[in-house]
Amino acid sequence: MQLTHTPAINDSQRRQLAPLEMPPRLLLGPGPSNAHPDVLQAMNTPPVGHLDPAFLALMDEIQSLLRYVWQTENPLTIAISGTGSAAMEGAIANSITPGDTILIGVAGYFGNRLVDMAGRYSAEVRTITKPWGQVFNLQELRSALEAHRPAILALVHAETSTGARQPLLGVGELCREFDCLLLVDSVTSLGGVPLFLDEWGVDLAYSCSQKGLGCSPGASPLTMSPRAWEKLQQRQTKVSNWYLDMQLLSKYWGKERVYHHTAPINLYYGLREALRLLADEGIENSWQRHQQTVEYLWQELENIGLKLHVEPEFRLSTLTTVCIPEGVDGKEISRQLLNDYNIEIGGGLGELAQKVWRVGLMGYNSRKENVDTLVAALKQVLP
């Protein structure tokens, strides 16, 4: 190789930078949340190879613990090598056979994202809608299933854009009655909100690592029931997505251990630690902790005169939408919290843009002292 014959180096995009320094934020928005310090420490472990026996054993631990936190026995329970939206797309890509009708419950931003994705995988997309912040009851779902006869019903268990919790009890039975798969977004519920995939008859679910699990983002849980897997096995064409193809991924996560792609090794270290800590705590204790912390938040916010957007019965324990009082510039308040107090909270999306703030208390961050810190700062910055 003759380096002397190569072109001159273009230095126009070269930069001289100082070592990384980031502000110490308290992340109380819709996610990411602060990862548990032990999780970050685990991510600092030098990597091994993606086919190293030590790594394969760690993958088994992740699978088992994901089943535990999801309360499922699904053999095909893995982490996708991407963030929550990649796992969402994995659920869509592996459940829709082109031409399938999918019925999607849309009462927020992430219902709309499912609509966008499903269309890209050649589904006939039908929707049932509600104002942002509300949920669907069983009778509404039954009517929609009767009207549309879908192959898949997709619901968002925890709508990150609204803070509403979609009840799932009874929906699985309904889906069996109408012979369709039940696909559930649990991005903002897994680890923090009670969720019983097998009891509730959920066929496909996905989540992320940086919310209720208390990890860093980038390795995202995805699970498929034997019913969903059987449908995938029967399709005649390849899934229109190579990276997220569960038939290929199952050969890497399963007994064959066939190389598919290089996993994000250090993130899997973190995810394993986050799940280990959660199993040590006990999933029901984690749910209780999230519930107690958020009820304290609601009380404290109401004490300073703020109103909440969602009816108490359907509020998430992980994410709360707070109504921005009339005359208050919501963005400016968020900016002050970030710049003056190093606290991040989220703003509203879509129908709720500029109407709510979104406050997350998720995973490691679901602790009363964080509520106190936030409320003390809010008292300072609110007019």
Where in 244-283 is the site for its own copies (CB under 8 A)?
259-267, 269-270, 272-273, 276, 279-280, 282-283
- DSSP structural state of residue 197: T
Q: Which residues, listed in sequence order, are joined to residue 122 by a DSSP beta bridge?
A: none
Tokens of 306: 């703020």
**For residues 271 and 36, is the Cβ–Cβ distance under 8 A?**
no
Q: Is the peptide bond before 32 cis (omega within 30 degrees of 0)?
A: yes
Q: Are 34 and 369 in contact (CB under 8 A)?
A: no
Residues 150-189 that bind its own copies (CB under 8 A): none
Does 296 contact its own copies by CB under 8 A? Answer: no
According to the binding rule CB under 8 A, does residue 299 interact with its own copies? no
Residue 272: CB minimum distance to its own copies, A: 6
Q: Based on CB atoms, which residue is closest to its own copies, 50 or 231? A: 50
Q: Minimum distance between the CB of residue 143 and its own copies, rounded to whole angstroms?
A: 26
DSSP 312: G
When asked if residue 131 is in the footprint of its own copies (CB under 8 A), the reply is no
List, in sequence order, every residue forming a beta bridge with 220; answer none if it has no partner. Answer: 80
Q: Partners of 124 in the beta sheet?
A: 101
Residue 153 region by backbone torsions, left for phi larger than 0, else alpha for psi between -120 and 50, else beta: beta
Using CB under 8 A, pick the residue from 149, 238, 307, 379 that binds its own copies.
Answer: 238
Does 332 help bind its own copies (rule: CB under 8 A)? no
Number of residues that bind its own copies (CB under 8 A): 103
Query: CA 144, CA 180: separation in Å to the nearest integer?
Result: 12
Closest approach of its own copies to the CB of residue 93, in Å? 9
Under rule CB under 8 A, residue 83 binds its own copies:
yes
Residue 291 binding its own copies, by CB under 8 A:
yes
Quick one: 45 or 137, whose CB is closer to its own copies? 45
61 forms part of the interface with its own copies (CB under 8 A): yes
Q: Which is nearer to its own copies, 304 or 353 (CB)?
A: 353
CA angle 29, 366, 81 (to 5 degrees): 65
Q: Rounded to the nearest 10 degrees, how much is the dihedral formed by the CA atoms of 285, 35, 264, 42?
A: -90
Nearer to its own copies, 144 or 219 (CB): 219
For its own copies, the closer CB: 144 or 190 = 190
Minimum CB–partner distance for residue 326 and its own copies (Å): 26
Provide the token pair at 205. 């679910």
Task: Give the residue, chosen from 59, 65, 91, 156, that forms a contact with its own copies under the rule CB under 8 A.
Answer: 65
